[in-house]
A and B are shown apart, each in its own frame.
Chain A
Amino acid sequence: MFQVHVRTRINGDDTEFSCEADETLLDALRDRLGLTGAKEGCGTGDCGACSVLVDGRLVCACLMLGAEAEGCDIETVEGMADGSKLHPLQQKFLDHAALQCGVCTPGFLVAAKSLLERNDNPTEEEVRYWLAGNLCRCTGYDKIVRAVLDTAADMRKASKPKPAKAKKASAKGRVSA
């Protein structure tokens, strides 16, 4: 079948691929690029296992065409850790045993990251509604919600600048802005 040539940036790397015109971004990631971290649980946008960030927006990769990714900046679960250093969410998911089979985990991590980037102090209800598009059949969500809330609390603590340094940091921020 007719193939489209697509140029993207994936987890920071400039990446090109060819895919069929009607092929989903999820299939392109998984089958063409070997990025199998995003999973297909439904293929219809109902389970969130395929969650990725496209230009910073949380999307279901099964609902987007590979061809539509032209020029986009894509983040997948494979890009979350910084080398061998886990993202705080990844660490908290382990600490809280927020996974059983783990097939939903990549999608939850990407979705939760996107939440915490927007809101570093979510209520339990906000976490539950933000993650309502991600299905988990194993855990009953309890430990997942706790892991996300705990990560947020830690991240707030870490980002709370100490009074003396705060000035410098914000001054620097203004300069670079």
Chain B
Amino acid sequence: MNVQPDNKAMKRDFDIVGKRTPRPDGIDKVTGRARFGADMSMPGMLWGLVLRSPHAHAKIKRIDTSKAEKLNGVHAIVTSKDFGPCDDSLLDIRENVMAREKALYDGHAVAAVAAVSRSVARQALKLIKVDYQVLPHVTDVDEAMKPDAPVINDKLFTKGLDKTPKKPSNIAERFEFGHGEVEKGFKEADLVIERTFRTEATHQGYIEPHACVASMGADGRGEMWVCTQGHFMVRNTCAGLLGIDVSNLRVTASEIGGGFGGKTTVFIEPVALALSLKANRPVKMVMSREEVLRASGPTSSSSIDVKIGMKKDGTITAGDATLRYQGGAFPGSAVPYGAMACFAPYDLKNVRAIGWDVIANRPKQAAYRAPGAPMGAYAIESVIDELCRELKLDPIDVRLKNASSDGSKASYGPNFGVIGLKATLEAAKNHPHWKAKLGKNQGRGVACGFWFNFGGETSVSLNVNVDGTVGLSVGTPDIGGSRASIGNMAAEELGIPHDKVRCIIADTASLGYNDVTDGSRVTFASGMAAIQAARDAIGKLCERAAKIWGIPVDAVVWEKGHARPASPNAGKHEPLSLADIAAQAGATGGPIAGHCEINAEGAGVSFATHMVDSEVDPETGHVKILRYTVFQDAGKAVHPSYVEGQFQGGAVQGIGWALNEEYIYSKDGRLQNPGFLDYRIPVCSDLPMIDTVIVEVPNPGHPYGVRGVGETSIVPPLAAISNSVSDAAKVRMTRLPMSPPNVLKALGRI
């Protein structure tokens, strides 16, 4: 057999990859047949609901569930007592899913009930009495860092300092990245600008609230149906929290109605399982939108100082940034990613980024699309824009001059491989958008963004069926069309039509472990695994052909979906199609399948440049987005429609973050806008079409050159829009969101 899994021989001419094929789950999703988290019911099912803390910070003195237990129709009530010892790595998750000694934020779960109906469960919640002792709280990141701030966790001693402090504080850790000498660099500059920026917490805003059905049997075996980005993660985490053998919990991923990082952890899932264990019946739980906003992962709010020096010719001589992110009530904000990513687009001699991970009385932050990167990029790209303006330099030329390129040393340490930042900037420079005329009160902004992308643990199984169709099982939930792209890569490799491959998301009992759908990894890693599984199957198909023909296997090649004799010396044999060989599988040695288990490496980093025109109404402070163009390197766009969709979706989430969205806390630490009316994400009438330009600089780490595309698209918008609004309003914007009141303030009107 001479089919080798050799990533170096990168394929560049494709039959199926790059085509806009119909998606396999399409009909289900336009007819209402697709089953999402809340669409599942089980026989004998109960409804579970959670009681949540109304306080930002309070000691839980006593929880009295006796009245609720007596209510007819109530079958189980759980509190933190029902979650026993667990591994240290799960302690924060255990405390986040059910408060123990203290409620740490408005919305923190304190108890849960399972009852025969939602209305009985609702009544039961009202009968649970919790005695709270309200404690002083802090929700603002800068306030939380002050020495006299209320201490949320008295066992938290700042890590990452030369000497670990003796006093606890809300500062969890300090990070530092960079190289060179920034002070020396600033001396070489003709102009140095220093600014402070603030961004507010935003929510991933997936339209489908968290939902699950859990069923634990008396035999200690359980099943779960969950909307999640990673059902293997749900299995392992829940098993760890409840002391169940991993093999005894089988988790099926439902269709998932958006995640954006917010469904990479657990919230109600272990609670539903605990209720089911106690009630000995299946339990369904569905969060309300209010619960989603109050208690599931928002992103960090941040406060960032940036200082950058530039020469008259546009050379950046030094960059220095300090990023402070609050990540809610537990350590682990995405500040290290922010600090690593913020200067990554530039090849700098002197650069430093310091990150502070801070806790506050807010829900534990969860990953949100390129976690941590948009805020850092916002601050750095804003200062670069201002330097260009002051020095009368073209912002694209300056970026091109300083841009990271193949082999340059990244601000966070390693040397880049083959990267496409310059290609996105050139595409932007040559696009008609860049030359288009602007009117009164209108402005244009550009910004660049970077994301690492990820590979990770991946397991794929590919079955060649008797009729020549192929079943492809992957373990990474499909959020945006990945079944289409992964199936197409397998079909490409096998040389059969795309509709002969059916790609499904297999449950946790049917496949090896898979990391969650995150880090823009699925099309890259599950795709790579599917290609390798296809190659594995091709090897076996060639063996069967060799057997049928009675020739050695290395005299057989696989071409365009057929086994053929490698050369005339191998004898004259009619080529055998995949279907021909599949039909004889039983007689030639049994089922034919390909497998691949990898920890995928070689995820190529990805860069984007965004360009946006906006108009500012000086009377109301309202900002309207007039035109938007995304230029992003996809390596190879496997399914261009869904690549464009990722570019557009990320840009629009960025528009929301930049203009409207924010978590608003009152003085008593309660979230004031836990609903889609007041937490306003962009709607159709707010927006223009979002133009996209797919740049393809192949990633040498993938057999087809694929790079992840999902996350990079949210990194540049905050800065690009802020630069555009600053241009339109003729005043530098330094705070998000640029909502009408904040814009009017910046204009000096209020």
Residues of A6-24 at the interface with B, using a CB-CB cut-off of 8 Å, are 20, 22-23
Q: Which of B20, B34, B256, B683 has the most CB of A within 10 A?
A: B683
A103–B31 touching, CB < 8 Å: no
Closest to A87 in B: B30
- B642 CB contacts on chain A under 8 angstroms: 97, 100
Residues of B673-704 at the interface with A, using a CB-CB cut-off of 8 Å, are 675-677, 681-687, 689-690
Closest to A95 in B: B22
Contact of A67 with B by CB under 8 A: no
Min CB distance B164 to A, Å, is 41
Min CB distance A132 to B, Å, is 4
Q: Which of A42, A81, A86, A142 has the most CB of B within 10 A?
A: A142
Contact of B119 with A by CB under 8 A: yes
- A127 CB contacts on chain B under 8 angstroms: 684
Q: Mark A129-170, 1 if CB is under 8 A from B, else 0.
A: 101111111111111111000000000000000000000000
A128–B676 touching, CB < 8 Å: no
Bound CA span A131–B687, Å = 12
Given contacts A1-B119, A46-B676, A46-B677, contact A138 B258 (CB under 8 A): yes
Closest to A20 in B: B119
Min CB distance A17 to B, Å, is 15
Contact of A41 with B by CB under 8 A: yes
Closest to B647 in A: A140
A101–B257 touching, CB < 8 Å: yes
Bound CA span A77–B118, Å = 25
B651–A97 touching, CB < 8 Å: no
B687–A128 touching, CB < 8 Å: yes
B676–A131 touching, CB < 8 Å: no
Which one of A86, A109, A144 contacts B684 once the chains associate, using CB atoms below 8 Å? A144
- B259 CB contacts on chain A under 8 angstroms: 101
Bound CA span A81–B689, Å = 28
**Surface stretch bound by A, among B173-181, B203-211, B302-310:** B203-211
Contact of B26 with A by CB under 8 A: yes
Closest to B691 in A: A142
Bound CA span A101–B685, Å = 21
- B39 CB contacts on chain A under 8 angstroms: 30, 36
B479–A100 touching, CB < 8 Å: yes
Closest to B689 in A: A142
Q: Dominant SS at the A interface? A: loop
A94–B26 touching, CB < 8 Å: yes
Given contacts A99-B30, A102-B34, A104-B207, contact A141 B479 (CB under 8 A): no
Contact of B580 with A by CB under 8 A: no
Closest to B207 in A: A41
Min CB distance A165 to B, Å, is 31
Bound CA span A133–B680, Å = 12
- A143 CB contacts on chain B under 8 angstroms: 641, 644-645, 648
Q: Mark B632-666, 1 if CB is under 8 A from A, else 0.
A: 00000000011011101101110000000000000
Bound CA span A30–B676, Å = 22
Given contacts A94-B23, A129-B685, A141-B652, contact A36 B32 (CB under 8 A): yes
Contact of B35 with A by CB under 8 A: yes
Closest to B259 in A: A101
B32–A106 touching, CB < 8 Å: yes
Which one of B645, B677, B682, B689 contacts A100 once the chains associate, using CB atoms below 8 Å? B645
A103–B676 touching, CB < 8 Å: no
Closest to A49 in B: B207
Given contacts A78-B31, A94-B27, A106-B32, contact A137 B206 (CB under 8 A): yes
A41–B208 touching, CB < 8 Å: yes
Q: Mark B17-43, 1 if CB is under 8 A from A, else 0.
A: 000101101110111111110110100
Bound CA span A109–B653, Å = 22
Contact of A73 with B by CB under 8 A: no
Bound CA span A92–B260, Å = 26
A105–B30 touching, CB < 8 Å: yes
B207–A93 touching, CB < 8 Å: no
A102–B31 touching, CB < 8 Å: no
- B649 CB contacts on chain A under 8 angstroms: 100, 137-140
Given contacts A41-B209, A42-B676, A94-B22, contact A142 B690 (CB under 8 A): yes
Min CB distance A141 to B, Å, is 5
A43–B288 touching, CB < 8 Å: yes
Contact of B515 with A by CB under 8 A: no
Min CB distance A150 to B, Å, is 13
- B20 CB contacts on chain A under 8 angstroms: 97
Contact of B481 with A by CB under 8 A: yes
Closest to B713 in A: A140
- A128 CB contacts on chain B under 8 angstroms: 684-685, 687
Contact of A44 with B by CB under 8 A: yes
B30–A46 touching, CB < 8 Å: no
Residues of B206-243 at the interface with A, using a CB-CB cut-off of 8 Å, are 206-209
Bound CA span A144–B690, Å = 12
Which one of A27, A43, A141 contacts B687 once the chains associate, using CB atoms below 8 Å? A141
B260–A47 touching, CB < 8 Å: no
Bound CA span A46–B651, Å = 22
Bound CA span A81–B28, Å = 12
B641–A102 touching, CB < 8 Å: no
A131–B684 touching, CB < 8 Å: yes
Given contacts A94-B23, A142-B689, contact A101 B208 (CB under 8 A): yes
A137–B289 touching, CB < 8 Å: no
Contact of B480 with A by CB under 8 A: yes
A137–B22 touching, CB < 8 Å: no
Bound CA span A22–B117, Å = 13
Q: Mark A56-99, 1 if CB is under 8 A from B, else 0.
A: 00000000000000000000111011000010001001101101
B481–A103 touching, CB < 8 Å: no
Q: Which of B646, B681, B685, B689 has the most CB of A within 10 A?
A: B685
Bound CA span A127–B689, Å = 12
- A132 CB contacts on chain B under 8 angstroms: 683-686
Bound CA span A41–B29, Å = 16
- B536 CB contacts on chain A under 8 angstroms: none
Min CB distance B257 to A, Å, is 3
Bound CA span A134–B205, Å = 13
B645–A103 touching, CB < 8 Å: no
- A129 CB contacts on chain B under 8 angstroms: 684-685
A47–B31 touching, CB < 8 Å: no
- A136 CB contacts on chain B under 8 angstroms: 207, 684
Extra contacts, 15 of them, besides A77-B32, A135-B676, A145-B689 (Cβ < 8 A), are A1-B119, A46-B677, A78-B31, A99-B29, A101-B256, A101-B258, A102-B25, A102-B257, A128-B685, A131-B684, A132-B684, A136-B207, A136-B684, A137-B260, A138-B649
Interface of B with A (CB < 8 Å)? 20, 22-23, 25-27, 29-36, 38-39, 41, 117-119, 204-209, 255-260, 286, 288-289, 479-481, 641-642, 644-646, 648-649, 651-653, 675-677, 681-687, 689-690
| 28 A/B residue pairs, CB under 8 Å, sorted by A | A27-B118, A36-B35, A37-B32, A39-B208, A40-B209, A40-B286, A41-B209, A41-B676, A43-B288, A44-B289, A49-B207, A90-B30, A94-B30, A97-B20, A100-B258, A102-B25, A103-B258, A104-B257, A106-B32, A132-B684, A136-B684, A138-B479, A138-B645, A139-B652, A140-B651, A141-B683, A141-B687, A145-B689
The 4 closest A-B pairs by CB, nearest first: A37-B32, A103-B257, A102-B29, A140-B652
